[in-house]
Amino acid sequence: QVQLVESGGGLVQGGGSLRLSCTSSGRTLSTYNVGWFRQAPGREREFVAAINWSGSITTYADSVKRRFTISRHNSENTVWLQMSSLKPEDTADYYCAASTVMSTSGVQYHYWGQGTQVTVSP
């Protein structure tokens, strides 16, 4: 079973940076496509970024392009989300998820972490 754990969230001022990590404590993450999603209070969950199993393909939501970078080393059981130039509207709970397909839709992801909080002050 894939058991995902996120870390790296916290408080940061606008314009600052954070790096989130996603690691599986169960089956290795190296053969799965991985996505990052976020959900802010009172809002629906939205797609942030995704990376295919090998790390050769990435895709981003328009709202985070040029600011966020998703990455992985296939030999490592971790996927990273580097977030820079953070804005207050980036404040949300961030979740990583694993899928057998590359997708921007949460319904395609079968394994989810518990989330990590990101708060960006004005």
Distances in whole angstroms, Cα of residue 119 to Cα of each of 6, 39, 87, 90: 15, 12, 9, 7
Tens digits of residue pLDDT in 78-117: 999 999 999 999 999 999 999 999 999 999 999 999 999 9
Task: Tell me the C-alpha distance between 8 and 27, whole Å.
Answer: 21
- Residue 22 predicted with pLDDT over 90: yes
Q: Which long-range contacts (CB under 8 A, 24 or more apart) does 110-113 make?
A: 110/2, 111/1, 111/2, 111/3, 111/4, 111/32, 112/4, 113/4, 113/5, 113/6, 113/22
Arithmetic mean of pLDDT over the chain: 96
Yes or no: say if 77 and 29 are a contact pair by the CB < 8 Å rule: yes
pLDDT band at 73 (very low <50, low <70, confident <90, very high): confident
Query: Which H/E stretch holds residue 21?
Result: strand 18-24
End-to-end alpha carbon distance in the chain: 40
Tens digits of residue pLDDT in 45-59: 999 999 999 999 999
- Residue 75 predicted with pLDDT over 80: no
